[in-house]
Structure formats: structure tokens, C-alpha cells
Amino acid sequence: METENLSCIICLERFKDPVTVPCGHSFCHACITEHWDTKERDSSPPQCPVCNHTFVPRPSLKRNVNLCHLAEATMARSPEQRDSTLASGDDRCCPDVLCQHHQKPLAIYCKTEGICVCCECSISRCKGHELLMVETERKNREEALNKKTVEIAKYKEDTEKSMAELTENIASAKVSVQQTSQWITTRFSQLTKTILEKQESMQCFIDLEHQAVLEQADQHLNTLQERLMQLQHTKEQIEGLQMLSDSQMIQESRLIEVPQIKEVPTEVSVTLHKKLTQVTEVLSQITKLVHEDLEKAVDAAVGQDKQGSPQDKRPVLAVVPSPATPSYSAGKEGLSAHYCSLTFDPCTANSHLLLSQNNCKAEHLSTGQQAVPTHDARFDNTWQVLCSEGFKQGCHYWEMVVSKPWAYLGVAYLGIPRKEKGKRCVVGMNEVSWSLQLDERELSAWHSGRRETVSAQQPQPDKPLRIGMLLDYDGGTLTFYGEGQVRLHAFYCAFAQELYPACWIGEGVSVTLCPL
């Protein structure tokens, strides 16, 4: 009778991983699953093989713990059946390991002794101990392992992040030297043979400076190696004193002195672009003379304005490239090839500026400051905001609509001052930014606090202005365009760091980033 009650009606064998369906009948998990799978293939709903009760939808199967334990107990009393079950390889109800004393499943965990025991051991040997079902303890252990897995994943992520940051810094140092050398080579290639001699001289200087940095680093490394050898030698001397007699040891120990340790720098600093600031500024002025002033002089000499056709009189829409950079075709299509989508970074926005339209519009509120969280990147005292996107290579073009002419538009390095008071934080008023000032009276170009008047049509008060900017990072140019994409002004500079579009916005003025 006991065997019949513990047998599955489908396979007619003792239960293996018994489950109970909603009508109350029990079956082997594999048997009822296969039975219902067959029904589904025949487009029939799942039914109980005993009472033919139909289940819609198909119910989930849950293990019958009591029936499983009962099957385990009877299995332990029948060695032949136990061996048969073990040989089948199904260990979800019947563990592989049995109690050596009672030949029963180790279904209980004794927390006091930290071992798994059978039912009889839990009554006799572990009386009064803290006991749990093995399944419960397994779940507890799995939860603990999951927490450790999460912790390990975090440490792994932090380690990978540190490696990536270090790798990026190393690459940045190399790129800084390469870009400075490339920019100088590009500029000198446009000038006369006399200037080419200076180019060779400057390139030699770059190589020497680069070599000097490496030599200094090698010297520091050699110093550290010599110190290590000296310390090791002193350590060996001290160890050798232990083998001497008392009098010899006392006498010789007076000669042992700890070497004086001086701090050795471990940083490898590349400041080439700073040393060449004066040179790059002169080259920028020469480039502007050649590409802009000389071009106007030549046009005036040949009488282009008098004899040319209306088609010839249209403004040049792209900066004249250097020989090492590709040409841009004139017209909207040429600039659109480099069009990029931008968004304002809310972490940098001054508290007077309200961002909207998915951070594509920045408006200076006349009602005063907003409540914004403190952030290291925020401009605290300057009505300014940066874009989230930065550029450190390639060509990029974007346009902004300014509601009325009271703003500064340009680009800046991440190192632009953000917490100071005064104009030094304004884009174009420091050595790490370039800008075009929109004013009711005139347009002005700014860099490092120096102003240059832009020859263009005077802006009209309270009329929106559409300003375009083309950044050719590798070629070292930043060009501004006005209404109808008329070229307004161009900066020439050897950019050394990642550039971010920036806006200073006057009270009551809004700036909107234009989509493609």
C-alpha cells in the first residue's frame, strides 16, 4: 500500500521530484511535464491524468516537499530501490550522499556544528542545536554568494575603469606631442623657403624637448634602481653582522648607516604646447594674413568685384584649408556633411539659465536664480553653459539661434574657470577658449581676453540671429558663419585639448541648438 501511494500513476514508479497539480493529484515532475507537452502539440489543453480536470492556463508546477521527504525515507529503507533511483541520476529529491550511520538522506543542516545530518541524527546527536532544512541553508548560501559576486563585479569594474583612465592619459600625452608637431609642420609648409628653415629648427626643438622629457624620466628610473640596490646592499650587511661574534658585531654595527632617502618624481609631464605658445600665436597671425588679408588684397588688385559675375560675388562659406587638410565644398551641402547634433550639459548651466526642449534650448530667466544642486562643473558666477559633446579630432559643424544680440558663442577646454567672479570665466576671455560676441552695435571675436572687430553687417536689435560654427580640429581652425552661412571670422590655433561648445547668455536672451 505504501509503495502504491508513493508511485506516479504515469510511469508507475516511485516518485522522482514529485509535484502537485491544482486538483490535488501528484506526479513526477518529468512525467506530467512530458504529458502536458504532448497535449499542447495536439492542441489540447492540459488535463489531470487521474480526474481529467482541465487547467487554463497551464499552471506552474511546484515541488511537493512533504511527499519528496516521504519518498526519500522509504527509499532509505529499501536498498534495491535506493540504488535504482541513484543510478537514474535524478538527485533533486534524493541526495547523492547518505548518512553513514543511518543510511538516510542528509536533509537537515546543523548550524551549531556546521554539517549536514539526517533526521535521526538531528534528534539524537544534534538535540538542542540550531537546525535548518538543507534547502533553506542552500538558499542562504546562494544569497551570500550572489552578494559576493556583485561585490567582485564592482571591484572588477573599478579596476577596469582605472586601467582605461590610465591608458587614456598615456594616449593623451602621446597625442599632445603628435598634434603639436603636426600643426607646426602644417603651418610651416604654407610659407616660403626661409620659413621652412625655421620649421626644421622648431621640429628639432620639439624632438629635443621630447627627448629631454624621456631622459629625465630615465634618470629618475635609474635613481630609483640605484637606491634599491643600495638598500639591498645595506640589508645584506646587516644580515652578515648576525654571524659575527658579540664584540665584532658591536664594533661593525657602528659603521652601518641607513641611506638618506630623497623623493624622486614619478610623473611624466608633457608641456610642449605651453612652451610653444608664442610660436603658435605668431604662426596663427601669419596664417590669417595669408588666408584672409592676402586673398582680399589679390581680389582687389585683379578687380574681381568690378568684373566678376554675381555668382562670383557670393561669400566664401568655408575656411581656406591648409594643404594637409581636405577641402570643403562651398554652400550648405558642404557644411552639412560635417553637421553634428548637440545638447546642453545641465551640470554646467548657471543657476540663471533654464534648459528645455531636451536640453537643446538655454534661456536666461529674468525672474532670478533657480534652485540647482551644487556641482564642480557648474558656472557659479557666470551666465554660461557648455555642451555635453566634446571634440578632439575631425571636422564638426553646428548652428545656434540667438533670440537677440547679447551673447558670446564659442568653444572652450574643460579647464575653463567656473567658480571665479568677473570676466575671466566668460568664453573668449581666457587662454583656453575662443568666442564670437554678439552685440547690438557690432560683432567681435575674442581669445585670451583680446578683442578683434568682425567686419560684418550690424546686428538688428530684438531680431533672432542664426550663427554657425565649423571646427576643424586637426587643421586648427574655428570658423563662424552668419545669416545665409556668410563667413564672419576664423580663428587659427594649435588645439591641444578636447573642445566643448560654450555659450554666455545675457538676461532675457535664449540660445537654441539647431537640428540637422
pLDDT at 308: 40
CA–CA separation, 425 and 416 (whole Å) = 7
Per 3-state DSSP, the chain is made up of helix, strand and coil in percentages (nearest 5) of 40, 20, 40
Of all helices (H) and strands (E), which one includes residue 200?
helix 193-241
- Backbone CA torsion sign across 296, 297, 300, 304: negative
Would you identify the CATH topology of the domain 1-88?
Herpes Virus-1 (3.30.40)
Contact 213, 267 (CB under 8 A): no
pLDDT at 75: 61
CA–CA separation, 101 and 82 (whole Å) = 16
Residue 92 banded pLDDT, cuts 50, 70, 90: very low
Residue 233 banded pLDDT, cuts 50, 70, 90: confident
pLDDT at 202: 81
| Average pLDDT rounded to a whole number, residues 487-499 | 91
| Average pLDDT rounded to a whole number, residues 65-82 | 62
Output the 3-class SS for 12-79. CCECCCEEECCCCCEEEHHHHHHHHHHHHHCCCCCECCCCCCECCCCCCCEECHHHHHHHHHHHHHCH
- On the question of a common fold for 1-88 and 325-513, the answer reads no
Contact 381, 347 (CB under 8 A): no
pLDDT at 93: 40
pLDDT at 270: 63
pLDDT at 159: 93
Residue 55 C-alpha cell reads as: 487547467
Four-way CATH pick for 325-513: 2.40.100.10, 3.40.50.970, 2.60.120.920, 2.60.40.10: 2.60.120.920
Of all helices (H) and strands (E), which one includes residue 187?
helix 134-188
Find the angle CA(175)-CA(177)-CA(181) to the nearest 5 degrees. Answer: 110
Predicted confidence (pLDDT) per residue in 123-175, tens digit:
888 989 999 999 999 999 999 999 999 999 999 999 999 999 999 888 888 88
Residue 4 C-alpha cell reads as: 502504491
Predicted confidence (pLDDT) per residue in 432-441, tens digit:
999 999 998 8
Helix, coil or strand: residue 411: strand
CATH class of the domain at 95-134: alpha beta
- pLDDT of 82 over the 70 cut: no
Paired strand residues for 443: 438, 454
Helix, coil or strand: residue 104: coil
CA–CA separation, 461 and 459 (whole Å) = 6
pLDDT at 324: 33
Predicted confidence (pLDDT) per residue in 105-123, tens digit:
999 999 999 999 998 898 8
Predicted confidence (pLDDT) per residue in 289-311, tens digit:
776 676 776 677 666 544 443 33
CA–CA separation, 60 and 39 (whole Å) = 16
Residue 320 banded pLDDT, cuts 50, 70, 90: very low
Residue 329 banded pLDDT, cuts 50, 70, 90: very low
Of all helices (H) and strands (E), which one includes residue 480?
strand 477-481
- pLDDT of 189 over the 50 cut: yes
| Average pLDDT rounded to a whole number, residues 203-224 | 85
More confident of the two residues 325 and 83: 83
What percentage of residues in the chain have a pLDDT greater than 90? 41
Quickly list H helices, 308-344.
310-313, 332-336
Paired strand residues for 344: 387
Range in 60-64, 78-82, 338-342 with the lowest mean pLDDT: 78-82
Please tell me the pTM assigned to this model: 0.46
Predicted confidence (pLDDT) per residue in 389-420, tens digit:
999 999 999 999 999 999 999 999 999 999 99
- Whole-number average pLDDT of the chain: 82
Residue 91 banded pLDDT, cuts 50, 70, 90: very low
Residue 248 banded pLDDT, cuts 50, 70, 90: confident
Residue with cell 546527536: 125
pLDDT at 102: 85
- pLDDT of 388 over the 50 cut: yes
Q: Cβ contacts of residue 417 below 8 Å, gap of 6+?
A: 424, 425, 430
What percentage of residues in the chain have a pLDDT greater than 70? 83
CA–CA separation, 173 and 21 (whole Å) = 68
The residue extents of the domains of the chain are 1-88, 95-134, 180-275, 325-513
- pLDDT of 184 over the 50 cut: yes
Predicted confidence (pLDDT) per residue in 12-42, tens digit:
888 888 999 999 899 999 999 999 998 888 8
Paired strand residues for 45: none
Contact 64, 20 (CB under 8 A): yes
Residue 94 banded pLDDT, cuts 50, 70, 90: very low
Helix, coil or strand: residue 145: helix
pLDDT at 187: 64
